[in-house]
Amino acid sequence: MGVLVGKKAPLFEADAVVNGTEFVEKFSLEQYIGKKYVVFFFYPLDFTFVCPTEIVAFQDRLSDFEERNCAVVGCSVDSKFSHWAWLNTPLNKGGIQGVKFPLVSDLSKTISENYDVLAGHYEFDVEDEAAYFEGQPVAYRGLFLIDKQGLVRHQVINDMPLGRSVDEAIRILDALQYFEEFGEVCPANWHKGEKALKPTQDGVSEYLGNK
């Protein structure tokens, strides 16, 4: 699995559904550069079991991300029409109605490939002169925190049965913003409002109080 931390987030233009109902062509993360942080996450497929729990959990905490000037964007290999149908299906019928953040359609699977979360790869059989896909042509549960300069600052990849923690995504976002503001590093299990560390000239870190 490739490491994108410290590198520019791969950009793209793709179909998306925003605000739960609106089709957008050529949706791009470029619109956020210089303006917002982005939590960009992949999930395997619409109309599945773990995926709606994650997506609804992100929606439930969307205001917490917005307060931190951070956009949330989801992506899977489904079509925009599948996204739209799922977004307009009630929760009690397996849908995600009420979700407002963008869902990107990676029907070509190129976005998943560029972020190196595609659960498989293409092979070419020279003898048969045919290409085939080895593995599953869907995305792992990848999550990328992208800063306002378009750099990936954090990534986590889960296998398909393993749901992610929205609380942890917010904690990491808080840590990044704290570091950017104060230049102090955040120790293990740090949460907003707790003491951080400041390296000293002799190499010893000292705890600092709340800012």
Judge contact between 182 and 195, C-beta under 8 A: no
Check residue 130 and give its pLDDT. Answer: 74
**Percent of the chain at pLDDT exceeding 70:** 91
pLDDT in tens, 51-87: 899 999 999 999 999 999 999 999 999 999 999 999 9
Where does the pLDDT of residue 131 fall: very low under 50, low under 70, confident under 90, or very high at 90 and above?
confident
pLDDT(174) > 60: yes
pTM for this predicted structure: 0.90
pLDDT in tens, 16-42: 999 999 999 999 999 999 999 999 999
Which two three-digit tokens encode residue 106? Answer: 């990676």
Q: Which domains does the chain have, with CATH numbers?
A: 14-164 (3.40.30.10), 165-211 (no CATH)
Q: State how far the Cα of 155 lies from the Cα of 174, in Å rounded to an integer.
A: 15
pLDDT(208) > 70: no
User: Which of 55, 60, 141 shows the shortest CA–CA distance to 95?
Assistant: 55
Where does the pLDDT of residue 210 fall: very low under 50, low under 70, confident under 90, or very high at 90 and above?
very low
Check residue 200 and give its pLDDT. Answer: 66
Positions marked catalytic: 51
SS3 labels along the chain: CCCCCCCECCCCCEEEEECCCEEEEEECHHHHCCCCEEEEEECCCCCCCHHHHHHHHHHHCHHHHHHCCEEEEEEECCCHHHHHHHHCCCHHHCCCCCCCCCEEECCCCHHHHHCCCEEEEEEEECCCCEEEEEEEEEECEEEEEECCCCEEEEEEEECCCCCCCHHHHHHHHHHHHHHHHHCCECCCCCCCCCCEEEECCCCCEEEECCC
Angle ∠(30,36,41) on CA atoms, nearest 5: 70
